[in-house]
């Protein structure tokens, strides 16, 4: 293998995702909530996160030509950020806003905002360290962080709209990890 070859993505990401998937299944089983729909949510979560990591943190190169300084600050507003970059980040993070509410007992837009911000920050910090320590091929960018969070919140908006349709709401309830959503009565007691 050439020293400039990238670290292979699949042998790193796939086993990690598989272990996380098995842990999630174990957690569901221990809580007495393991069902096929909930297992599908766990699988979707693991595949989604693995895909994001594989496409945002990798490639990482084993070696690269020496630079003049040890650390290069690659975190800020990247010049040349396009509308396509923004739309891409919104679309990539929209699933966060659809998966997180399935995992929480009381989902809300601000919880999705926190989850989207935390996940995006982990990705951006990973890119920063990968580019400086592992010769990574991506740069951390504040624009990415912002539009990732926007994507998560918009995904939650779509989830909320779909959840207002009674037929879809009952289907969505099968995938929730915390049991059925509370029924809101419109008639006074």
- Annotated domain spans of the chain: 10-175
pLDDT value of residue 111: 96
Distance CA 37, CA 176 (A): 8
What integer best gives the mean pLDDT of the chain?
85
Does the pTM of the predicted model rise above 0.85? Answer: no
Q: What percent of the chain has pLDDT over 90?
A: 58
Residue 76: pLDDT over 50: yes
69: pLDDT confidence band, cut at 50, 70 and 90?
low
Q: How far apart are CA 139 and CA 143, in angstroms?
A: 11
Q: Tell the residue number behind the tokens 């995992």, with chain if given.
A: 103
Kindly tell me the burial class for residue 65, based on how many C-beta atoms sit within 10 Å of its own C-beta (0-12, 13-18, 19 or more).
exposed
Q: Which of 69-73, 153-157, 173-177 has the highest mean pLDDT?
A: 153-157
Residue 37 tokens read as: 């729909």
What average pLDDT does range 26-36 have in this prediction? Answer: 93
Q: Give the residue ranges of DSSP H helices in 31-175.
A: 36-56, 83-103, 109-133, 142-163, 166-175
Q: Is 21 helix (H, G, I), strand (E, B) or coil?
A: helix
CA distances to 110, 125, 142 from 74, rounded to whole Å, are: 29, 10, 10
Q: Between these two residues, 66 and 4, which has the higher pLDDT value?
A: 4
């Amino acid at each position: 293998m050439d020293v400039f070859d990238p670290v292979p993505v699949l042998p790193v990401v796939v086993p990690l995702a598989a272990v996380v998937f098995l842990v999630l299944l174990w957690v569901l089983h221990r809580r007495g909530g393991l069902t096929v729909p909930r297992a599908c949510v766990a699988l979707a979560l693991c595949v989604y996160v693995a895909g994001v990591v594989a496409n945002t943190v990798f490639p990482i190169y084993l070696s690269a030509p020496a630079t003049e300084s040890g650390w290069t600050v690659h975190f800020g507003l990247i010049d040349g950020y396009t509308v396509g970059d923004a739309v891409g980040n919104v679309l990539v993070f929209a699933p966060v806003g659809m998966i997180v509410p399935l995992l929480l007992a009381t989902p809300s837009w601000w919880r999705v905002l926190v989850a989207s911000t935390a996940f995006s920050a982990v990705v951006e910090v990973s890119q920063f360290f990968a580019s400086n320590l592992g010769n990574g091929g991506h740069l951390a960018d504040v624009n990415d962080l912002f539009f990732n969070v926007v994507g998560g919140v918009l995904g939650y908006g779509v989830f909320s709209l779909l959840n207002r349709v009674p037929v879809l709401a009952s289907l969505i309830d099968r995938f929730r990890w915390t049991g059925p959503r509370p029924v809101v009565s419109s008639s006074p007691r």
